[in-house]
Amino acid sequence: MRTQVNHVMPATAPSLADRAYAFLLDRLVMLDIKPGDPINEDWAGSTLGMGRTPIREALKRLETDRLVVAYPRRGTFATDVNISDLAHISEVRRTLEPTAAAAAATRATDADRARLSQLRDQLDSATPADNAELLRTDLELHRAIYQCVHNPFFEDTLIHYDNLATRIWCVFLPRLQGMAGHVDEHLPLLTAIVAGDAKTAAALTLDHVTGFEAAIRALI
């Protein structure tokens, strides 16, 4: 009787373009590269130790994400943050995010639940940081939940709209109150997903997304 050997394929390392994309994405979402700023390809390439080709590949992806815009003979620039887009972004998120949370609660693997439990414990014991660091934590938690959906198309869509929402957050970051409380809303949400409680996870997510919109509208 022959013994079947299962060969595990090694994880593929990120390409240069993937690294450039992640590097620029973080800075665009957190407004470290401010709306309207030009994207300096030489600076990005020098910082990352790579040539222009992967930088330009990354910029094409970011243009599809509506985070940069390219103008012939002028260059590529970070897109503006339009507060008027808030209603449209929120409408999409109110529809998709609860569905994603419910799916995560039913589809999460044992490894996923262990990871979410770890993140919950870290959040529960964390000392409140500044608003920018809290917002990065918010991004990390959302992405961890999206991964539990196990649908790459859904995950990409969720990340796209969460990125756009986060840019709006960043515009108002210096004036936002109660940011720690907003991030702490993930504690019962993570508990519900780990427990497989889809109904509670969906309801908590809807409250979370609705609260984001209300907090921003209170400052407009």
Q: Which fold has domain 83-217?
A: Four Helix Bundle (Hemerythrin (Met), subunit A) (1.20.120)
Task: State both tokens at 25.
Answer: 């994405």
pLDDT tens, position by position, 62-111: 999 999 999 998 999 999 999 889 999 999 999 999 999 999 999 999 99
3-state secondary structure of 168: helix
Q: Which fold has domain 16-78?
A: Arc Repressor Mutant, subunit A (1.10.10)
Please determine whether the domains at 16-78 and 83-217 fall in the same fold group of CATH: no
Which pTM does this prediction carry?
0.86
> In this predicted structure, what is the pLDDT of residue 69?
96
pLDDT tens, position by position, 152-200: 999 999 999 999 999 998 988 878 777 778 888 899 999 999 999 999 9
Say whether pLDDT at 12 is over 80.
Answer: no
Query: Who contacts 81 (Cβ-Cβ below 8 Å, separation ≥6)?
Result: 31, 35, 167, 168, 170, 171
Ordered by start, the domain boundaries in the chain are 16-78, 83-217
In the block, which residue shows the tokens 């940081």?
129
Say whether pLDDT at 220 is over 50.
Answer: yes
> In this predicted structure, what is the pLDDT of residue 2?
39
pLDDT band at 8 (very low <50, low <70, confident <90, very high): very low
- The mean pLDDT of the chain is 90
